[in-house]
Structure 1
Amino acid sequence: MLAQVKSFKFVPARIRRRVLKRNHINELPVELLVKIFLCCLPTRTFPKPSRREAPLLLARVCCIWRSVSLNTSQLWSQITLEGLQSVSHRRRTPWTSESFHRFGIHEWLRRSGSSPLSFEIGRHFHIHTTTAPLLTLALQAEAHRWKAVILNDTCACITHILQMLWVPGKTLMLTDIHFADIELSAYPLTITPNQAFPPASQLCSICAYSENVRLLLGSGKLHALRELRIGFFEESSSPPLVTSLSFTQFPLLEILELSFRSPPFPQYDAATVTVVHSLQHLQNFFFVDRVGEYLWLIDTFNTPILNALAITSPKLGEDEGTHLSDFLLRCGGQLRRLMFHGAGGGVPWGGLTRFIQHTPMLETLCAGSPYLRRGDLMPPCPTLSQVDILFGPYDDIMMITVLAILSQWKCSGRLRERDPGSTVSPSVIRVHWDYLSHVLKHREVKKCIPLGLRVEPLPPQKESWWEHRLYAYLVVTN
């Protein structure tokens, strides 16, 4: 069909016009419609799903889709100001142009109607060189519609946003606050440590520095909070927030991320901490210990229905292994997903055996190839159906790891000939995209594919279930 379309250009223009008049776009083949749609997209970068670009891309398809786009206010409820990536790729976007700041933002807001607004202000160097911060002033006027506010830059323009957050009654729809890269104390805000944060009672998600968390907590009232991500970076207060914060004041908490970068204070000792945080609804726990000195804190948590646990630490020695083993013995009965990321080439803690023996319902295990050495998957774990091999180079160790996993799955009966109507979930090994073809070409892997094995590429890190919201900041500043 496409070959016929290509030859269509040799038909005389008069005949082409007559033919086109008799054909509707709906009669064109799907393959050709895809080609037309792709021709409307940017050519420098491969198109990726994006809520902020959705209304513009849909409007380029045809008049019908344009009408749908213009009349669907929810499509215009996402706004992102971020210029650093565009500058590095030398590609202009509507959000970095002066005309958008002067006029476009008002039209965008008009099209969003009365829908709740979610916006992100990322790094945008040089955008304000010729214009005042008109975009944030326009957003300030719509504070009554704010739903999610993400601030990832230190530009003075975000002062207009911060000012509205502490005005009672201005942000009644606000549920999400993410301050991943700013310090509230650096802005001209009159906030005292005990001052209540007006939207506190309605917030469902907070992502911030520990110092910012002190200000956001104020007098408490975060009873509806379901997601909390705190970065303890170069904390100057004593005692540090991590030892004084009671997580039980968030009774509905489902997601908790604790990220550490600064060395521990000498004033406190792990042996003297007896506070136990009982989180009855916590399902996802992310622990990022960049200095390798804080893993003992998991001894202070009780999470009876924990579903996913991700541990990142450069120091995973015997003591750290004991803390983790005790935690899983206490809280690993319902765990489905487990991730380890450490540093160094050795296998810590004597392997993973001592941990996954406490997780009888584990389905997904993510770790580097040194951690998945032969025998580490031998404890009873009949539900384990997916192994993600992270961070390791493609070498003999990786293939030894893959073959060891296959051998154990064969012994357990996961890899065997199945009936056509079998409902048993496949066994999945995921590796880095660069290594995928090498693994698929291996003779033993080819034999196991008909038995129910699937070898897939790892998803981008930002799409991984264990991705840390504060990860980008850690990478930039470390």
Structure 2
Amino acid sequence: MAFFSDSLCTETAGGAMRPDGFASSPICRIPPEILSDVFLLCLREDGLPAPHHLEAPLLLCHTCKLFQNVAYGTSHMWAGISMCRNAPREDDLVILDQWIARSGSNPLSFSLSYSKRGSKIDKLVEALVPHSWRWKDVTVDFGYAFVSDTFFDTISRGTPALENLSIASLKSIYNDKSHPPLPPLDISSAHRLKELTVYLDLKLDFGASILCNLRCLKIWPYIPFISLTHFLYCIDHCPAIEYFACSSECNFGDINERVDTKVRTLQYLTHLEVQTEWGYPGPFFDRLCLPALRTLKLDTSWHISSTHSFNWPFVADLLKRSCAQVESFYLEGVPMRERHLIDCLQYTPCLKTFECKSQSTIPYRVLTVTESNHLCPELECIELRGRIPKGGRRATVAKMITSRWNFGPPGEVVSVGTQDRRYLRKVVVDDSLADTHLLQNPALARCVEEGLEITFGLDN
């Protein structure tokens, strides 16, 4: 108690002690550089700090004069800001200017968006443009507005410190014919770029540059008219890419077979996600070899001609050519034939997760273990969504699940009770099966008692 009293008082000239409050408390003895390091630990870990009085760094500035001085002097604390609101506020630009001034010369990260229609973030972007040489992690969502020319020109001129870039806009050039289309975005000087995500109708220009640091590339156009040829062009300039996702409504057969026959071997690509609504993606898959592939997602909800309706061997060909240890496989909207699915699963012996949305019993039949069928023996999670024909669907589903639950290492059927020998952990079936009293099946009820998780997913 004596220590506490002395710490809150100072001695007067006559030797008496007078209260001095927080100014003489033990925390004032902590060196500012240590206090500064502590303050940095107060910043949120799940994103950039927001300018809110109940969140660091503003919260620290409102605590006391000492904290305020240390916070203002810790430029790293102000090197990132998230201004994601429903609508603009009068003081947004003032706050952003203060934040930028306090950040010193540190690499600058920011996330900007106004979600309300009619709102624009152009003024915020203009305030950041003079500091483009230190842009690091940039997320800009223009909402219902077009991408500002200022932002576009700034990126094209060069942002040498840029590592992560995400651009989004719900307003497409195809919705407004009076708006001139954007030229390709020049990212040839962004040699530090590691991740790029584009959520609008925009092509990329790599020039003669090879971006060896780019690991993740996602191109999700709002109205996806970007062609397959452009995706191959992007891949050719990103040899170290690990994650590639794209969407297109163009005919994937638009490639000139005589001009581009090269198969690209991407040694590091582990995740491939392709979505298309028009056309045939076969030529795109035919030009890829992915020996490190771990996750494959294919959403082909396309309006496809009868020529290709039940013909998608390009997936199996890719898996065969790559010889990869695929662990997660997702299919949606694929017009399915049993032999095509079997061909694919034959080349995924290490598969852990299989997810398929199809209005058919084919996936259930293919995954049912029999004496002659031991496909994907290491499956841990199976998700099968989509309404299937009513006739015998309860029995079909039950047979698939029970055969997997009692199936152990390759070629060996385990007895009940040896759960340590099983791989299957979870099964998700379509919500429409909830009305069939599926879990009243005695065999399935026993599987659940022994630890298998069976849930009903939504039909979406």
Shorter-normalised TM range: 0.5 to 0.7
Please tell me whether residue 219 in structure 1 is matched to residue 208 in structure 2: yes
Looking at structure 2, the residues matched to 141 and 397 of structure 1 have their Cα atoms a distance apart, in angstroms, of 67
Query: Are the counterparts in 2 of residues 430 and 456 from structure 1 also a CA contact under 8 Å?
Result: yes
Letter paired with 2:113: I
What does 1:219-298 correspond to in 2, within 5 Å? 219-231=208-220, 235=225, 240-242=229-231, 245=233, 247-263=235-251, 268=255, 273-298=260-285
Q: Distance in 2 between matches of 1:410 and 1:419?
A: 10
1:359/1:321 Cα in 2 relative to 1: closer, same or farther (>3 Å)?
same
Q: CA deviation at 1:354?
A: 2.0
Using the size of structure 2 for normalisation, the TM-score is 0.66
Aligned to 1:175: 163
Distance 1:199 1:386, change over 3 A: same
Post-superposition shift, 1:367?
A: 0.4
Pick the aligned partner of 1:311 from 295, 298, 309.
Answer: 298
- Which residue among 317, 325, 328 is the counterpart of 1:337? 328
Does 2:393 correspond to 1:430?
A: no
TM-score normalised by the chain length of structure 1: 0.64
Relative to 1, partners in 2 of residues 1:437 and 1:284: Cα closer, same or farther, differing over 3 Å? farther
Residue of structure 2 in register with 1:386 after alignment = 381
Name the Cα RMSD after superposition.
Answer: 4.8
Q: State whether structure 2 residue 139 is matched by structure 1 residue 150.
A: yes
Distance in 2 between residues matched to 1:271 and 1:120, nearest whole Å: 45
Q: Distance in 2 between matches of 1:106 and 1:204?
A: 27
Partners of 1:450 and 1:280 lie apart in 2 by 44
| More moved, 334-343 vs 97-106 | 97-106
Shift of 1:136: 2.0
Q: Distance in 2 between matches of 1:457 and 1:210?
A: 34
Distance 2:393 2:124 in 1: 50
Shift of 1:396: 7.5
> CA distance change for structure 1 residues 59 and 251 in 2, over 3 Å: closer, same or farther?
closer
CA deviation profile, 1:39-76 (whole Å, cap 9, x unmatched): xxxxxxxxxx974687859649xx89997999696698
1:407 maps onto 2:405 in alignment:
no
Code of the residue aligned with 1:277 in structure 2: it is R
Change (3 A) 1:359 1:296: same
Residue 446 of structure 1 corresponds to 445
Q: 2:267 and 2:230 mapped to 1: Cα distance?
A: 22
Deviations 1:403-439 (A, max 9, x none): 233122134138865579x596661123578988988
Distance of 1:446 and 1:55 partners within structure 2:
53
Of the structure 1 ranges 428-437 and 204-213, higher mean CA displacement relative to structure 2 is found in 428-437
Partner SS, residue 221 of structure 1: coil
1:333/1:361 contact within 8 Å kept: no
Corresponding letter in the other structure for 2:449 = P
Aligned pair in 2 of structure 1 residues 160, 101: CA closer, same or farther (>3 Å)?
farther
Give 1:337's aligned amino acid. Answer: S
**2:250 is paired with a residue of what secondary structure?**
coil
State the 1:383 CA deviation: 1.1
One-letter code aligned to 1:449: V
Encode CA deviations 1:322-380: one digit per residue, 9 max, x unaligned: 2111111122531101000016xx74354622211111111000102525232335443
Which amino acid is 1:356 matched to? L
Bigger relative CO (Cα 8 Å, ≥ 6 apart) = 1
**What amino acid is aligned across from residue 368 of structure 1 in structure 2?**
K
Unaligned runs of 5+ in 2: 1-44
User: What is the one-letter code of the residue matched to 1:388?
Assistant: E
- Whether the 8 Å contact between 1:351 and 1:376 is mirrored in structure 2 is no
Q: Call closer, same or farther: CA 1:173–1:455 in 2, change over 3 Å.
A: farther
Residue in structure 2 matched with residue 163 of structure 1 by the alignment: 153
- Number of the residue aligned with 1:137: 126
Give 1 or 2: higher helix fraction: 1
| Unaligned stretches of 5+ residues in structure 1 | 1-48, 84-95, 462-478
- Cα 1:236/1:163, change in 2 over 3 Å: closer
Distance in 2 between the 1:430 and 1:57 partners? 44
Aligned equivalents of 2:425 and 2:240: distance in 1? 34
**Cα distance, 1:455 vs structure 2:** 3.1
Flag the structure with larger Rg: 2
Given that 1:210 and 1:241 are in contact with CA atoms closer than 8 Å, whether structure 2 keeps it comes out as no
CA distance in 1, matches of 2:421, 2:285: 38
Which residue is equivalent to 1:8? none
Q: In structure 2, what is the equivalent of residue 117 of structure 1? A: 109
Aligned counterparts of 1:459 and 1:427: Cα–Cα separation in 2:
20
**SS state at 1:361 partner:** coil
Contact 1:263 1:293 in 2 (8 A): yes
Change (3 A) 1:143 1:262: same
Which amino acid in structure 1 is aligned with residue 241 of structure 2?
A: L
* 1:304 Cα deviation from its structure 2 partner: 0.8
Say whether the 8 Å CA contact 2:272–2:296 is kept in structure 1: yes
Number of the residue aligned with 1:33 = none
Counterpart AA for 1:136:
V
Contact 1:416–1:452 under 8 Å retained in 2: no
